[in-house]
Amino acid sequence: MLGWALLFLVVAIVAGIFGFFGIVSAAVGVAKVLFFVFLILFVISLIFGRRSKA
């Protein structure tokens, strides 16, 4: 998921270089959402992954 967020960030940067500002705002929005979903899932996996099975 972090890879997808980075992909959309690169798309936004390239679109910004070429002047497609509508695409930039959409790609940045998607990248932000994916990044925050990644962070939430990462924290949840850290919390629940540390439990011992004993």
Domain ranges of the chain: 2-48
Q: Cβ distance 37 to 1 under 8 Å?
A: yes
Q: What is the pLDDT of residue 54?
A: 58
Enter the tokens of residue 35: 């990044």
Interval 31-40 mean pLDDT: 91
Q: What is the DSSP letter of 18?
A: H
Is residue 53 very low, low, confident or very high in pLDDT (cuts 50, 70, 90)?
A: low
Q: Angle at the Cα of 47 (from 43 to 53), degrees rounded to 5? A: 150
Q: What is the pLDDT of residue 40?
A: 95
